[in-house]
Structure 1
Amino acid sequence: MRIEVVNPNTSREMTAAIGRASQAIAGPGVDVRATCPAMGPASIESHYDEALSVPGLLAEIAAGRADGYVIACFGDPGLDAARELADGPVVGIAEAAMRTAALLGRGFSVVTTLERTCGRAWDLAHRYGMAGFCRGVSACDVPVLEVEAAVDAVVAACRSAVAADRSDVVVLGCAGMTEQRPEIERAVGVPVVDGVQAAVLQVESLLRLGLRTSAAGEFAAPPPKPYSGVLAPFGVRRELAASVRKTPG
């Protein structure tokens, strides 16, 4: 079983950390590899960054190197498009983290990086039906590429969120926090959920159950058509559209 964890930004250091955390949690016989695109933003901290991260992310998915995929950015960029494209399940870390947290208490707080990304987290909580469990979204105000070394700031933000929101669980709102999860949990004193590891195990579970994204409706393979300009390589070939997710397994 092969699972590819795609970090949609181009930071190789962050991708390596995501890979270590992913491999540490995977079950026996599961080959987990973390990758990042050759093109895209160095970090994802705005709607603009998120939009321009999607082509590189989809190029990684289209390569078809794995049985299932994780999108390792808390905005879950390109998730719907990736599900159309992939021949196997695709899970975003925000959805995985929120659904996992809802199993652990009456309510959770999301602690993300920059304040400007809080609205996106709320959007996803509503989209995934998790708004009733989400008691608050707050930021530690540390940039994405600096968050791995800023554990004290993340811990302080988590403690503040638990007290202000009266939450039972904390959701870490950035893939760059993944290796710090145990330390943060010890310091905060409530369950702390990292979406990277949660998503890896959810993809693994879906694969072991023999389940994949349904092709019966909007997540069927995209219709074939040419694309122009710099997006010409992303045009969907007829043979690809005919082959994606037509057989179980």
Structure 2
Amino acid sequence: MSTTSLEGKPSFWLKVAEENLFDMCYEMGLTEEKFIKFQKKRFFKSVFISFPLILLAFFSDWWWSLVGLALGGFIWWHEYNRTKRIYKNFKFIKILQFSKFQRLLAPYLLSVDSTLYGVFTRMLERTEEEHIKSAIERLLIEMNEYPSSDVPFVKFAKNASGTDDSILFMTTLFDFQQNSSDKTIIMELVKLSSEQLFEGVDEIITFKIRKLTMFPTKLTMASFIVVLGYAITIIADSFTSGFLG
């Protein structure tokens, strides 16, 4: 991960970030400038929560400062974990969309006298996902620039999905174009993409079940907060009445 700003000076906000945080945000489309804004917002949110309690420690018990620091640290940690969850969902969607792309690609590859360039040109018209469409556009340009290199295929796989399976799929396509006309290779790739798609469906089911399982817990916690607030109000009211009594 880079720890220098756009001007080449050491960046404090990049240095204090977790090891993989910038890489995750960058892959999701955040520039370095936007990432620094995210870090600042994350920091000031933590300070906003902790500072009043630290200030309270000067007029009350010292342990309020520990509570403030703990809450500030929790907010900082929570924002990192929230970003990890967003990134995991982002990666999952990319993998699923690439699996759909593979299945759409297969019939064109099995056509008589089809060329990869022609197939990708037709896929550009059929594909709806913007990030895959833009990756195909770059692939077509680079296929013209580097006709004998698999680098454009590897770059496409990394941009469109980023998994080892996607890189294997694209490099196999390149080898097929360069060295073979055996359609059984395409059939094996179709089989591989189908297996990956079913794995993605299983992950969706698992994810949905996990969300449904957590719903009663979240509902219970929300109810507990309401009950706790009501209880505190009753206790405060009773205490005030007895004190004034």
Could you state the TM-score of these two structures normalised by the residue count of structure 1?
Answer: 0.22
Q: As a proportion of its length, which structure holds more strand?
A: 1
Query: Which has the higher Rg, Structure 1 or Structure 2?
Result: 2
Q: As a proportion of its length, which structure holds more helix?
A: 2
Could you state the TM-score of these two structures normalised by the residue count of structure 2?
Answer: 0.22
